Structure 1
């Protein structure tokens, strides 16, 4: 059993969750979705490993499938149907509000309501959405309008707590002034830790908001198992990202993998665990959000939440992070601005 826990922010500040959350995207957004029983065991293992009173934080998506459909939520529906008592043992966050065919967010009240109704239909009657996150900030409307729309949907009982994804510090502050934000989900890892991440983490600390740090293992890259594009299956979503689809860029970025791996080996942990523990060290409100589709990996990730890195180990890891600038864009060869990220 792991022991470390964390609390969420805003209206969910009374909710205690495991120190490390569990992302479910890779269970279904893959060329070959994992066998359902394997996915179920991966979720159950994470829930069962937590101390009494702590819920497992699960992160799902309305569009986590190769066809951008609701396969992820349908899988969860069957999980809760088979294990109904796990509904109360889990805190479920779902991303939505994305016009999948056009790859753009829509923050209008009408579309968000439609998205949430679609989510709940796929999720079934046993589990309700605890935290809803617009998958991206709709830059065509003021953030204040988006938050007012979300407030209305909370009052309608569509979900309980408001989260944001890929917001910048200014947007987070403006949003929180309209309604308390429970969590802000941003990408944070030893190979993705820039000024935006630092600003959001500090602003969230000031405002009492949790930070969900997704991809703390660099979408698997920091494990050291991805050395070329040949190590990714055809159709893998990572092959749309310049950091993964170009062997020369992979080679250049591998320096940080070697450095992280050397520290991890010396202190007796896996590179993934060191990466997760380093992300957790950025603040008690920073909750690493790695994905896993195997029970063994879920437990390995959770155990990282109990790791207490020494000052010397932290200093060495910080030095590695600061000294290695990641090559390549995060998504589709486009900049964050072009992808409407960090709004």
Structure 2
């Protein structure tokens, strides 16, 4: 029998029950083999979250429980972050990125989707390079579009390096020729969204501001985004790096489909837990970015390692801090080695264990790493495993803040 896990008043089945397929009425059974085993689902404002990906098991389409919306959109419980495909000085070849993206999307069956997380500013020259990459990918492989749930960050003033949640002063279609320079002090939401759609070549599924603009209340931001949904620019509203209080305020204005926050064994703060709990109450999907600690927790970095990309600005990877934090990585390695899995799989399975509404989005630009990450969906940590991991997390004090001084967090 499958174990049951309580989410509010709804029961969810764990990954173990294969007998359920036989107990379903014949007309409800999936015919033939599927590339995804989804024995357990959670609805969060229309996003139906799969609890398992496995290319060898049969799939039970109707074995799910509802805790929110009703659109039938099935989202796998591990997603794919695309930022580091383009936010680096050394260009990653398109075909390498494409094979990495396809590796994840190939795991799902028709009607199911995997979150692909991108951003309007996830590039160096131009800032929209990540969007352009996706445009090229789906132009070459249009058949994969129906398998992807595209989540995009925007609403960020690249010149001022700060959030901009201003309502757009421009009418639809009136995009300045150089949106990063006109107007010089504003990056209104309407301009941001139209710019994203232009670079992608299609409308994304979900839009979220990279941070909540401190100059505009979240109620104003969500009201503006609601209008853009009604105009057909995207379908779902998300939030990124916001506090529990901001999430609750936003949800009063319009249903929030997802909230993206940093979650990993070295980033599990009190506010992280508060947001996860609030999201559970509000039927909001929690998307966990940097679940591998910017790759550090799955790495073999040694004392003295330096970085030439965005990680060079991380206080936790600075000289001195890195050496102290290696102890945490090594402690987790002992557990993963004992379990016969990789550190990446351990970290991702731990994030997934935080709730059926929690989806990590590890980044990768190679096919092999993508497959390693997605295979974490098949790892079931026991209560004793989780106890050991949690005790390890609590035993070490992480050295360094998540971001450099001045970067807004929990907005």
Per the alignment, residue 25 of structure 2 pairs with none
CA contact (8 A) 1:7 1:16 kept: no
1:48-98 Cα deviation digits (max 9, x unpaired): 012443211100000001246110010110101001111111110000000
* Contact 2:73 2:111 survives alignment (8 Å): no
Q: Normalization by structure 1: what TM-score?
A: 0.94
Determine the structure 1 residue equivalent to 2:99. Answer: 41
- Match of residue 341 from structure 1: 409
Instruction: Provide the C-alpha distance between the structure 2 equivalents of 1:165 and 1:53, rounded to a whole number of angstroms.
Output: 26
Residue of structure 2 aligned with 1:157, choices 228, 232, 248:
232
From 312, 316, 327, the counterpart of 2:384 = 312
Contact 1:6–1:18 (Cα < 8 Å) also in 2: no
Residues 52 and 228 of structure 1, relative CA distance in 2, 3 Å threshold: farther
Distance 2:258 2:323 in 1: 35
**How has the CA–CA distance of structure 1 residues 6 and 239 changed in structure 2, closer, same or farther, with 3 Å as cutoff?**
farther
CA distances 1:133-152 after superposition (whole Å, capped 9, x unpaired): 10111011111111101101
Conserved? CA contact 1:164–1:181, under 8 Å: yes
Structure-2 residue corresponding to 1:9: 44
Q: Distance in 1 between matches of 2:36 and 2:324?
A: 36
Partners of 2:99 and 2:304 lie apart in 1 by 29
Q: State the number of aligned residues.
A: 334
State the secondary structure of the residue aligned to 1:16.
Answer: strand
Give 1:61-72 correspondences, 5 Å limit.
61-67=119-125, 69-72=127-130
Deviations 1:128-169 (A, max 9, x none): 210001011101111111110110111111111000000111
The question of whether the paired residues in 1 share the 8 Å contact of 2:241 and 2:410 is answered with yes
Bigger shift: 184-193 or 85-94? 85-94
CA drift of 1:228 comes to 4.3
Partner of 2:166: 108
- Residues 169/154 of structure 1: CA separation in 2 closer, same or farther (3 Å cut): same
The DSSP-based 3-state class of the residue aligned with 2:336 is helix
TM-score w.r.t. the length of structure 2 is 0.79
Cα distance, 1:118–1:30 mapped onto 2, change above 3 Å: same
Aligned pairs for 1:169-208 (under 5 A) are 169-208=244-283
Cα displacement (A) at 1:33: 2.3
Match of 2:88 among 30, 35, 39: 30
Superposed CA RMSD: 1.5
